Amino acid sequence: VEKQPKEALASTTLAREPVLGFSQLGSESAWRLANTNSITEAAKIADIRLSFNNAEQSQEKQIEAVREFVKQKVDVIAIAPVVETGWEPILREVKQAGIPVVIIDRNVDVADQSLYVSHIGSDFYEEGKKAGKYLVDKFPKQIAPIGIVELRGTEGSTPSIARGKGLRDAIATRKDFRFLASENADFTVVKGKEVMKKFLAEKGKDIRVLYSHNDDMTLGALEAIEEYGLVPGKDIVVVTVDGTHKALEKLSEGKINLVVECNPLLGPNLIQAVKEIFKGNTLPKRIVTSENVFTQVTAASEMASRTY
Ligand code: GZL
């Protein structure tokens, strides 16, 4: 934004609709599809032309897409980064071109904070803390270990790193909680089932808790738990993150014990940010989406309003 004088922005504001180049990381989960729909819908309503690219989990493809947006001379670039590291070079190229960047959903790990205008997305660490606090409240202290298995999201992504740390910090005082296994299952249903089957084969009835970084992996894991002959929500306490309709259904059926909300509907926030930038206004460096937790008591009422 500092590259373009106010009057230049003012004239472009009057002359034509803003163009937003959006590099979406993939289509791996129901959350991601809801996130994409929210952004495309919000752009349409606001008459902002959207140049969209789906990188299907590839950072290389995201970087290529961003380079293409620079060639197209879009007014603003938004990136939902698949992983946190490796972004400095391309962000420096974009800064050289004088195009403002908004980071959406996951974050980038860059030393030079001037490489992007704002990061709009959840506080993933808080999500992990909420999950951990639930476990501390649910399980009275005991001598025998309480075995936890963890399905991690995409390695090196902000939600995977921060949700893992948040839970660990929240249960740190409880020496009875013990991680039996923790593995990446890439935020997908298929991998979630595959890895949970492995956990059950190796750890069986020692598993008292499943902590899963997203609902899609959880849905796969529930199938594995039932096929193994255990009752999810009873034999194994299940804690998951996102808050998709399908997870809330399982929550209302008692197969999940807690759903920590991660709000994918970032479209309105992003489009508002694009408009502010286009008017030459500055933005807060960090815009955090507000989120809740859902229990078996609140599942049914929440389901009614869920659009994804
Ligand atoms: C979190 C988002 C994660 C979701 C997953 O904001 O990046 O990626 O939790 C999605 O469902 O795949």
| CA 21 – ligand 1 centroid, Å | 20
CA distances from 279 to 10, 98, 240, 249, 304 (A): 6, 15, 40, 43, 38
CA–CA separation, 248 and 237 (whole Å): 15
The binding-site residues of ligand 1, defined as CB within 6 angstroms of any ligand atom, are 28-29, 31-32, 105-106, 122, 159, 187, 214, 216, 241-242, 262
Cα–Cα distance, 212 to 164 (Å, whole number): 9
How many whole angstroms from 177 Cα to the centroid of ligand 1?
26
| 258-261 vs 207-212, strand pairing mode | unpaired
Q: Of 222, 254, 258, which is closest to residue 241 (Cα–Cα)?
A: 258
Which one of 24, 25, 31, 188 would you pick to mutate in the ligand 1 pocket, going by the greatest count of ligand atoms within 8 A of its CB? 31
pTM value? Answer: 0.93
Cβ neighbors of 118 (< 8 A, separation 6 or more) are 102, 103, 273, 283, 284, 285, 286, 287
Distance from the alpha carbon of residue 213 to the mean position of ligand 1, in angstroms: 8
Strand-by-strand arrangement of the 101-104 sheet: 49-54, 19-24, 76-79, 101-104, 118-121, 286-288
Separation CA 28–CA 281 (nearest Å): 34
Closest ligand 1 atom to 242 CA: 9
- Fill in the amino acid letter for 245: H
ipTM of the complex as predicted: 0.97
Cα-to-centroid distance, 33 and ligand 1 (Å): 10
Q: Which residue among 36, 157, 214, 218 has the greatest number of ligand 1 atoms within 8 angstroms of its CB, and so is best to mutate?
A: 214
Ligand 1 site-directed mutation target among 28, 32, 125, most atoms within 8 Å of CB: 32
Give the full edge-to-edge strand order of the sheet including 258-261: 177-184, 146-152, 207-212, 237-242, 258-261, 293-294
Q: Atom 7, ligand 1: which residue's CA is nearest?
A: 106
Per-residue pLDDT of the chain (308 residues; tens, 9 = 90+): 344 555 554 444 456 889 999 999 999 999 999 999 999 999 999 999 999 999 999 999 999 999 999 999 999 999 999 999 999 999 999 999 999 999 999 999 999 999 999 999 999 999 999 999 999 999 999 999 999 999 999 999 999 999 999 999 999 999 999 999 999 999 999 999 999 999 999 999 999 999 999 999 999 999 999 999 999 999 999 999 999 999 999 999 999 999 999 999 999 999 999 999 999 999 999 999 989 999 999 999 999 888 89
Which ligand 1 atom is at minimum distance from the Cα of 264? 6
CB 61 within 8 A of CB 5: no
In angstroms, the CA 111 to CA 69 distance is: 23
Residue nearest to atom 3 of ligand 1 (CA): 159
Please tell me the residue having the least CA distance from ligand 1 atom 6: 105
For ligand 1, atom 9, the nearest C-alpha belongs to 214
Residue 95 — φ and ψ, nearest 5°? -65, -40
